[in-house]
Structure 1
């Protein structure tokens, strides 16, 4: 027989024992036993009601399983009233027909009726709240740039925003009529991840009523076949009572961002290659926080592992003690608000791993908050080879001669102005936010009520045409463009809140564009194969393109007293000009040579009258920086000009400084190579004219130079001897003494001695060698140079002398005998 009290007591005892052991507990009761009509089964609903009083307070889940095919409807309706939750094919839901245990126990129809009516009223309120929520959502979603989708709790598609057509090429109605289209437009490679993401979100909602949003990025195939990237955010929505109302899916076109990121990655890869080839590294010092960021190249120069935080102590420890004061003085000059805020200094770095000394050239630009320096950004280039070339020049001469108000995005609301034919001719500012003021430099009080042409006299016509279409058609747009009057790049989203008006949200992406252009320019303009002309041309072309100016040029001084320069690279309106020379007096470049960086933002022809070139081309603005050598002397300049006011932001000036540093390094390198080549030609001619042979070897006794006399002496050409070890050319009797001779040279001993050398035909030639050790600037052994005199004729004459003496002796001896 069935006794509700007995069964409840057994359940309490069994669950208490299990829970006491710390084990998790779930109960599933299969209720088909009640169909056997055991005595007491008529009390089944009494049992269900009593169980519902005690079980909710216990830490476990109980599930009663009723088979609809076997139980009659009346009993199922009664059981339904006793359970607060119901699990059906649609999932786990709150039971709208649930009657609390107290009302059910009273068995009063009025109480049960009141409970049902209350449940119906609650459901009606939930549905009304859902309709109101959907209505509010539809108003917002219809006017957003994102593609919005509302999915009901039964996974049916309730709403698709009009933006779907802009993002996918398919109208909202097509998705509502064919929900499967939502999956079919997903790129085949990304579809498994999208479906998995959706299942995980549905499982999270079902298991824990989790209200957190889930995000994923994937590709779709537009109706026209173009592949686009989508940023997808899925947010579950719940009612006030915790009931699940559905989910909101927001989709944003992030194709431009993805392509920009990919282009930046490719640019960075090219920059890495160029940096490695040029020995170039980048540093970033946040003065306010004291943090220092180094890229891999700078870390390699200092010998610091990649996981070690960079500190001021590490920076100074790597700088040669004799150069630290020089570096600090250069930084102090850059941090002087009255100065040019630029830094260029060459100094030595001692690698902490291998203690190898490197020469580096550091360039940089200091950024200020008012008069307080807050950041120093620049490059460090390994110039050890260049310094070695300069040192080689010195050694050569020595050797051979001794949201609206808080949002970061700018916002502005305008009304269009039309002519009589309905053509947009201007627009008037209605409202702007502080970010708009910061980005454009236009004050709110001065801008509101003014037209665009009043605020920006040189505003390009396409802005008015573009915004006119938005205000007239209501079709939103998203694009990037360059505002020439402001000298800024903007990412723009424009939409029409009402006919005749348009609102604009935009972000200033100038720094991002300049950073990308800088990376690309430095990568693409890195000098190769010593072609300085191509390098200079590439540099000015990239500089003019990045800063959107008509003219850019690099010039080399023809001498400190000459007052004349040679144009190494001159870019004008999309093509190269020159090379040519010009005089400096009366030009802004003359002031750059005399006083340092100069900026003349506007009215250049007024400031420098009588220059026909300026007047003919209506040059308006000029900005120039000097190119400095290692001693800080001006050896050239890098400048830009434009026919519009030249208001260059700090980021643009930093770009110009970085380019100037690269140009200076290349000009210094080219001059050093030219001087070294001239010196070597001069002293090579001297060596070739001496009657003795000349032979030079390096620290490994490998031949680095011989003159024609020495080569002819052994029957070889010069090319056959250079690069060959010296020891095999010694005669058999002298080879054993070779190591001893080298050891004496390493000890700094110079001496003359005679030995036999092996000619190409195997014969021996006697010579006298005057050998001297060669030391580098640190005093270390670097090789040997020797003058070689052919003793063949001297030995022949000596033999003849000895022969004559012998015959004379024999003659005198015979006379004495006879």
Structure 2
């Protein structure tokens, strides 16, 4: 009840009465209390938000929640003395300020954009800004929410790099590589267009069966009908294709099932084996013809020398065996996939070689190669042949002697050489293999290992690779540290060399009693392969951690530790504050109660009950 317009009535100058108007203000009081409760509720939500929430007016922050201090490193008092420009990265500052000037001028500016901020420690954080205009204190202001997307951006960049790297490898492949989904090509590298004669746009409109030779389509269709088998282990088809120009090519199809765009697909590569098949067919015809000639000659000899059957038969047997042996050796020598040679010890000249060796050194004919080749001149590093000869003279042979060689055009390749010396005859025999690709692969593997080792060592989270220890009843009782990163060393305060190979109970005495579930959880992960994520307080370290664990193979597990001690401390402080508030309300001499939006009483203190 509120009073208004009151006055005093007098008689002979003496007050005798008061007159006035009374107004019922109960609804207004209830509205004020509801408004106050709503304000407290939304303030609590804003303060607990995982996003930065702020109000910006003029050129200063006039409100910022707790998350703003966590991300930026500034206190609220420091933020209230700063402008938005002070937080923005110099490369993004003018863009963002221009957007906000235009927003303040009433232009229809997008409310969601990304920009970088600089924390108090100088770290760059990628943020997603959600901005809207409001009226605050009767004046224009900006209500903003910032979400830290640094981790997401890093993951996206790593994914883009990985995709670009593998796309480059696929595009440079000597084999045709394709992805087939929903009865259509959805990806094809450059080699696929070269092999088939179709452009990529034409391939997108084709089914794989459209380029398969008609006589092979039924068999390939059967393969395609069974391509829903589980797993991604490749299997190999052999079939003919018909190019756009109508040429027939014999091909091998190593294929495997994959997931592409979230749906099942088939990835395959096509290797043109036409020349190999033609060579095999030519060899078969020659073999058949040779057998016919031998059989015919044998019949003639049998007729001509019937009276000398025994002698001729024996001689023929020797001659035929010798002929087959010679032809077999000659075929093996000429068609070997490695370079075969015989060189003079004294000069390094070629006495004999096969076509594979001629090709390795980039020559067009064997005669040209034999005429100009000197083995000592083909090594990139001087005196390499001297070192090879020294090894041969001591051991009589060498295996897998690696060196760099020069081709006719001056290009360089790596070769692996195995040889045997025949001092009395004056020559060396051996073979040479091109190992350039293997060398490049080894170098690439080393570089990849260094990159991932650097990433591993610089992770902010602690990383440990462990082996679970079981007792005689196959129950987990301990675990041993096999590998850790620098962050894990920092968390524990124990040097890396003192961690590796040691058991957890040895390094942290009492951990099996203080945290019995920890070893049990890790044991379950190592034996079942199921991933887990949980929070635990490691008593020997007096720290709280968010722990993720998975098993790369049975009996072993990887554990990743994120230090959440500060977050836990904040939770405890919040609980203590709430407890103190509840105690205060319960001990007040005034009755307090709260109703929900339907007017139902949802909370009263003890004094309210007493009243």
Q: TM-score range by the shorter chain?
A: 0.3 to 0.5
TM-score by length of 1: 0.31
TM-score by length of 2: 0.40
Computing the radius of gyration over CA atoms, which structure comes out larger, 1 or 2?
A: 1
Q: Which has the higher contact order (CA 8 A, sep 6+)?
A: 1
